[in-house]
Amino acid sequence: MSGTVRLDLHVHSAHSPDSRLRLPEIANQLSYVGLKGFALTDHNSVEGHRRLPELRSNFPGLLVLPGIEVSTREGHLLAYGISEAPPPHRSLAETLDWVHARGGLAVLAHPFRWAHGAGRACAEGEAVDGLEIRNGHNSNIQNFRAEVVAARRHLLATGGSDVHELGDLGRAYTEFPAEVASTEDLLNALRHHRVEPGGNGLRWNARVRLGFLTGARLLARGFRPI
């Protein structure tokens, strides 16, 4: 796409149990990695949404898309454009109905990741609006598998870094038309597939490090799953 702006559509703040990032430090870092904004997608929580108006006020021109990453029984689902948290740990089909009834967009997060991914059957058969085909914590092979399914089903394709640490911000992203200026503009671009995902996943050595870090976070929260 020519004349675009980039947003990271998969970002976790301190309102997620596995992240300590504060919203201002995320916003401060955006320009250094070529981003115009981000989607706040905390795990099973929309508490951070209350701070977004203040964040926009303090960072003029910032584009922020309210979202959530909700845990379903089959795997994780990204929902955009909703103001309340779906009940977690329901079936994916029930959660999709809940999101769609409230006018939200439902995108399977990292569908081919062995941990928390919904898997091929859901990616190929469930009534999702899109697939995350560029996830910054996936392997490139996992991302490619999602890309193939999204193309075959003519689904929305998105990209996001799955940020829990500031250094990951912008590894994967989604490009929007340059004229987007509001949350509704962003949602309309997604609904009409006027976006292009980009970026890369992790190499094997970085995934090993991430695995140890994920284990440490799990231990710190008493082995409670997300």
How far apart, in whole angstroms, are the C-alpha atoms of residue 118 and residue 74?
A: 5
Half-sphere exposure of 5 (CA within 13 A, CB side): 20
pLDDT-derived band at 221 (thresholds 50, 70, 90) equals low
pLDDT-derived band at 216 (thresholds 50, 70, 90) equals low
3-state secondary structure of 28: helix
Please report the pLDDT score of residue 149 as a whole number: 98
Per mean pLDDT, which range of 133-147, 156-170, 210-224 is the poorest?
Answer: 210-224
pLDDT in tens, 184-214: 999 999 999 999 999 998 866 666 565 556 5
Q: Where are the alpha helices (DSSP H) in 12-91?
A: 23-29, 52-58
Superfamily of domain 4-220: Metal-dependent hydrolases (3.20.20.140)
pLDDT in tens, 100-129: 999 999 999 999 999 899 999 999 999 999
Which stretches does DSSP call E strand in 41-92?
63-71, 76-80
